[in-house]
A and B are shown apart, each in its own frame.
Chain A
Amino acid sequence: MLEPGADVGRGLPALDGILADFVAEARENLDRLDAELVGLELCPDDAEALRRVLRVAHSLKGTAGVLGFRQLEGLAHAGETLLCQVREGLRPFDERVATAVLTTADAVRALLDRIEVSGGEGDLRFGRVLENLEDLSREATAPDARALEGGAAAGATDQPPPPPAQPWAGPGAPAPSPARYAPAPSRHGEAAPQAADALTSGADGLPDADPSDRPHELRSVRLDVALLDRLMDDVGELVLARNRIAQLAAGADDAPLRVAVQRLGVVAGELQARVARARLRPVATLWRRLPRLVRDVALACGKEATVATEGGDVELDRRVLEAVADPLTHLVRNAIDHGLEPPAVRRASGKPAAGRIVVRARQGAGLVEVEVEDDGRGIDLDAIRRRALDRGLLPPQQARALGLREALELVFRPGFTTADAVSSVSGRGVGLDVVRAEVRRVGGDVQVETTPGGGTTFRLRIPLTLAIVPILLLRLGALELGIPQLAVLELLRLRPDHVQRAGDAPVLRHRGRLLPLVPLARLLEVAPGPGEAAGDGDDLRAPGPRPAGLDRGVVVVVAAGARSLGLVVDDVLEAEEVVIKPLPLLRLPVYAGATVRGDGRPALVLDPAGVARRAGVRDGELGAPAAQAAPGAGGDDDADRLLVLGLGGDERVAVALDHVARLEEVDPARVARAGEQAMVPLGGRVLPLLDLPGLLARRPALDAAAPRALTVVVHDDGRRAPVGLIVTTVEDVVAAVGAATGPGARPGVLCTKALADRLVEVLDVPGLIRHHAPGLAAAAAAAPGAPPALVGAGAP
């Protein structure tokens, strides 16, 4: 027998629609989830896939909570908790985790089936599934782990989950006052008063569909999107066929034929335009969910909020709409939970008790902007700085000097949150990073502006024609693949004599910096060079690592996050404007997708961020499987790369590769001294030297009896004058993955990291100078940018 369970207003047509959408969407997500989980099992380090899985769990939890499906919400929450531990590196993604999560997915499916039939969860109970998840979670956490509370409370037994109170409000939290809900009249007058009445009258009165929608619905038919897509393809083919016929007819001396062909041309053109228009939907379809979302989220957080929408008549391709939907929901949730202050605080600061959320869409040149604006407290930059310090995301002095823009960038880092408590609404950090990733996947971006005390605006910018992207075609043996042109900074002819080696890693001196070189053939494990058979995959798959392919070719300087790297390819062919589609069925993060080129051949398109990630990991692999050990912080686009240096014994130190201007071999005979300070004239300037083996390992290189050439790393962080670091060996370039294993134990050392299978001290060069060469530090302070040796020489 079916029981109503926690049904919210069953039988109302509008809600039926919402439920149907929810069930359909959740099922689709679960299907994707299965695929992702299976993929993750094969390849547990795929941080992207994990992020997507977390996103599914998170949005399922959110929507289930809003719709009042407590058991569903509890399951999703417990699953998310477990997966968060995987992301944080607290436990590996192993078979048990996969099994537990897959079983949960099945339980959720069973619940969805029931919800579809009866509108409620009915008497289905999945206590054992929940317990299993929680047992696993408990293994990895200390008993006080706050993250567990919600899940554990929700389902330690087979009792029905707690009533739809606020599981978010911890014990002792003030009971949230009933949220005031009054949608501000939008520009299009979307029947606001009526909706407000319906909502204030209680849970049994939910807003009905906008009556003005109805005639429209009667005159339209539901269409499978796949059908629409296929129609679009067919029309494309038709247009091609028409062009061919027109060519043939042009040569024929047959007037009636030419007239018929012309007519065909006109009709085909119109058809094409209409099918394209059939894919457009007004943004208002997204706005419809907002009032309810705002109301429920506000209620859950003890906030008061109103929502206003603008620009609902902007029409977008349905794929663009799809791409916007999830990020939008998340940003609105975020705005209420994090952006708005509690009513009492608002009143105290002279604001109306109810916060105001404005969601607006605007069509610009080739792109659409969707803004979510709140009038809340703004983003607390100090909190971000503190958080960045606590989590070891940045070295201390960098965190303190963090500017507004950089600080705001941090909120998009995976796992970054300033929320004090993990709540059901947000605060796990599963969020802004995913929002950004999703938006970027369709070629857009998200930005944030904030005024302390005045509010925050998140702005999504999404290209209108999803995906017409200019790419540059690269040749690699017989293979041709594309890279988005936007990511390409410059193209250089590779000159082998300019290639240097930092340990195993090839680097190129370029514009005063060392550019890490990545032979694309080796990265993709294809044999480089011509002479390979085309069209047969087996010939292109090299059985093992091949020569680096650094003897010739073109260096494509690519921006990936804040870094750049040089991809070495055989040739750069041409630019082409293409539509990038996701790679069907394959989960290979080095590719952004695939496209069909003008000549009809498919071509792969590289994802610069994925390429950089893979390059970073591989560099780590060269000397260091340990570099991969901590997936949490590691896989980031702009993971710092460190140059690992040897000091003669077991000691390893590292400096940021970004700050390494170049490597020099110096004849010890040229080293001069001014007081304690050693220096060497180099390139018209005097370079002060720090004898690292002497300072850090009691193995002075300068006073060594055997006069051999000194290896000098020229360190230039752009803030002070360059300084030369004498080292014994240059070992390796590694991605600075993993959290610091400890703080620096001595002056001049920032932290200790486990890299390359051993402990590496990451140097704080300014600190090193302050401690070991105070004269230089004083000189730098007195005359920033001036050649320090002149002052240093005169110092006592």
Chain B
Amino acid sequence: MTQRTTDRLSSETARRDAFLAAYRSMLYGRVFDDKLASLYRAGKIVGGVYLGRGQEAYSAALAHQLRPGRDVYAPLIRDQAGRHAFGESLLDAARTFLGSASGPMRGRDGNIHRGDPQNGTLAMISHLGAMLSVVSGALLARRLRGELDDCVGAACIGDGGTSTGSFHEAVNAAAVEKLPLVIAVANNQFAYSTPNERQFACDNLVQRAAGYGVEGHTVDATDLAACLEVFEHAVARARAGNGPQLVVGNLLRLAGHGEHDDAPYITDAHRKAPYAGDCNVLARDTIVHSGWLSEAELADLQTQAQQEVDAATATAQQEAAPDPATQSWVALFTTHLAEGEAEP
């Protein structure tokens, strides 16, 4: 075998491995989301349920480029697949939706408002755009300490979130500091019910990159291979010191805003548009057509995901809920400066 042939084969192997790893997170994300939807309908979940259906390829492809324990990740509400790829346990995810006191948020916050900030996964607040500058701050801290090296931070946001002042301030400030911030905009066509044409007036959100002086990229977010390629490139550019990267992926949200929303505003015309493909189905087709996994292996993977998700939700459901009587009703870390009730 010539060297060139060997290189080609190893790069094909790497591409296949990346695709399969990301697909695995997409599948786990989808199976988990479907489980959440059924638990929600059964009345087992208090509060909202927000699904990433249709966004799995984009979400997983970004997180696949990140290194847990090194990079900073700020997922948003439709990033179950990305969270899985970044190493979040299904049990912690299930605990947060099901209100287990053992979860990372201990019942103090729920559903998608979860994270482990000191270990690189920020816990989103609901105010859109607000997490971007927090990622920047984490990167700036590392730069100040001389520990930035080739770390990146990634912040996820939707089309609607790009309209906030917070988004604008953060992207501009990150550009001024030339921070390795990757901003992943998932344009799923609707901010809750508001379509793109009532959200922004530019042709494509990536045009904003030029205004901020950052590099911009677009991708068909239904196509996992394309998502992997665009994030591999964007994250590498950020790691190499080329400043913030604005990536815009086009897709359709294959669900309501939340499970309470039957999304009457998504019309047949949207469902027939090129961005409406189901990324999980398309990725699975690619795997089969490329001969990377057999139908039987894919069925096994599906079963395994289902079993792990079922086990996680079953465990979380059996765990104790938070107890108001033993709760510390003190918001401060510095407890001796707290007003009101003391520690129990």
- The answer to whether A and B interact is no
Which residues of chain A have a CB within 8 Å of any CB of chain B?
none
**Residues of B in contact with A (beta carbons under 8 Å apart):** none
